[in-house]
């Protein structure tokens, strides 16, 4: 009985916690996308520099990347196809983590290219790797969430039920 | 909702996001002008004459000197272009700001070093200007890498982005 009430308490906070995580994660990706869209040539150079994909593929990855960030970010923020958007962001994060991990392992000192907008010139390091892992955990959590408050998905769902 | 059905929905949404992004990214890249393609298309008059009087070096030979500590690469494009991407380790001396930038690297550029200048590639004379300036103050081991930045990029050689060499 008591256990149930604790669970109920948690259940009442959970939707708000999810909402906060959604806003934070989407905000980070939208901001990151703007920096990349403003410096498209620098982004191509950065992706090539990671030295993982052949130049041809790296170039197309660089063209696609900021748009995935911005579209998925806006979808996550507005709660439209929320789980799909979280999955898309999760996939990006997996590729970032792999690319950063490989280059840390190689011992390469290079720029991250993560948030070009602030002219941060972050160097690759375990802190960035750890940050991306935290983002990935949030994205995975969102993919496994069924119901999002203040979301277009939720609104459409209610309209259909009615 | 049926679980299988909802996962299908998640995957379809993700696929749509990636497809839309790929199309947007490729189309927008195709319709916007880019530094690398705009600068190398026209070979200005007098360039061939200018370059023929200069010791030049191919990307391949330059790269074999690259790992050598006694070689310095000098990017002669302007600072904004340098920050967008340059040969990893190259210093920046913009062709029109030689007096301003040269003193920063004076200690690094000892006279015994081999200096390789580059800019936008074939047709670009900025690297020739900087090479001439360097020769005028007593450097003898100066070469122009005529294929420049595009040549280096096409050969998939190490690059760096930002203000650091």
Q: How far, rounded to the nearest angstrom, does the alpha carbon of residue A52 sit from its chain's CA centroid?
A: 20
Closest approach of chain B CAs to the CA of A2, in angstroms?
Answer: 30
Answer whether residue A3 shows pLDDT above 90.
Answer: no
- For residue B163, which residues of chain A lie inside 8 Å, CB to CB? 121
Q: Among A9-13, A24-28, A127-131, which is the least confidently predicted range?
A: A9-13
pLDDT digits (tens, 9 = 90+) for A93-150: 999 999 999 888 877 667 788 887 666 667 788 899 999 999 999 999 999 998 899 9
Parent domain of A140: 2-161
Computed over its alpha carbons, how large is the radius of gyration of chain B? 21
Contacts of B24 (CB under 8 A, 6+ apart): A67
Asked if residues A133 and A100 have their Cβ atoms less than 8 Å apart, the reply is no
The two structure tokens encoding residue B15: 């696929």
Which residue in chain A is spatially nearest to B83 when comparing CA positions? Answer: A42
> What's the pLDDT at B60?
87
Return averaged pLDDT per consecutive 10 residues of chain B, 165 residues in all.
75 96 93 55 53 80 85 90 90 86 86 90 80 85 90 88 85
Whole-angstrom distance, CA of residue A38 vs CA of residue A57 = 21
Asked if residues A153 and A75 have their Cβ atoms less than 8 Å apart, the reply is no
- For residue B13, which residues of chain A lie inside 8 Å, CB to CB? 75, 81, 83-85, 87-88
| A25-48 mean pLDDT | 88
Q: What are phi and psi of A67, to 5 degrees?
A: -70, -35
Whole-angstrom distance, CA of residue A138 vs CA of residue A60 = 27
Whole-angstrom distance, CA of residue A89 vs CA of residue B26 = 20
- Number of structural domains found in chain A: 1
Closest approach of chain A CAs to the CA of B127, in angstroms?
Answer: 21
What's the DSSP call for residue B156? T
Q: How many interchain CB pairs under 8 A, A with B?
A: 96
- Closest in B10, B16, B161 to A45, CB measured: B161
Strand partners of residue A31? none
Closest approach of chain A CAs to the CA of B11, in angstroms?
Answer: 6
The two structure tokens encoding residue B67: 């790992």
CB contact under 8 A, A121 and B20: no
Helix axes A2-38, A55-78, angle to 10 degrees: 130
Quote the Cα angle for B76-B77-B78, to 5°.
120
Contacts of A107 (CB under 8 A, 6+ apart): none
- For residue A110, which residues of chain B lie inside 8 Å, CB to CB? 160
């Amino acid at each position: 009985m008591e256990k149930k009430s604790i669970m109920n308490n948690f259940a009442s906070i959970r939707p708000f916690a999810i909402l906060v995580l959604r806003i934070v994660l989407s905000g980070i990706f939208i901001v990151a996308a703007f920096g990349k869209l403003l410096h498209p040539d620098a982004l191509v150079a950065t992706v090539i520099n990671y030295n993982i994909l052949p130049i041809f593929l790296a170039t197309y990855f660089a063209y696609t990347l900021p748009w995935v960030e911005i579209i998925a970010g806006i979808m996550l923020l507005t709660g439209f196809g929320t789980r799909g958007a979280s999955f898309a962001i999760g996939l990006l994060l997996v590729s970032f983590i792999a690319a950063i991990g490989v280059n840390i392992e190689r011992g390469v000192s290079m720029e991250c290219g993560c948030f070009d907008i602030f002219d941060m010139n972050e160097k690759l390091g375990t802190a960035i790797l750890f940050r991306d892992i935290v983002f990935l955990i949030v994205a995975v959590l969102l993919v496994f969430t069924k119901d999002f408050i203040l979301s277009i998905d939720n609104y459409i769902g209610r309209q259909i039920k009615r | 909702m049926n679980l299988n059905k909802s996962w299908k929905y998640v995957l379809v949404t993700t696929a749509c996001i990636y497809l839309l992004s790929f199309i947007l990214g490729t189309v927008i890249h195709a319709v916007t002008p880019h530094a690398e393609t705009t600068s190398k298309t026209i070979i200005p008059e007098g360039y061939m004459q200018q370059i023929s009087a200069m010791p030049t070096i191919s990307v391949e030979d330059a790269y074999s000197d690259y790992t050598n500590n006694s070689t310095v690469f000098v990017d002669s494009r302007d600072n904004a272009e340098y920050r967008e991407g340059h040969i990893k380790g190259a210093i920046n001396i913009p062709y029109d700001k030689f007096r301003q930038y040269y003193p920063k690297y004076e200690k690094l550029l000892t006279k015994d070093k081999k200096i390789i200048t580059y800019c936008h590639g074939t047709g670009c004379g900025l690297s020739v200007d900087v090479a001439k300036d360097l020769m005028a103050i007593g450097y003898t081991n100066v070469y122009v890498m005529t294929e420049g930045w595009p040549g280096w990029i096409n050969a998939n050689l190490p690059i760096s982005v930002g203000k650091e060499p």
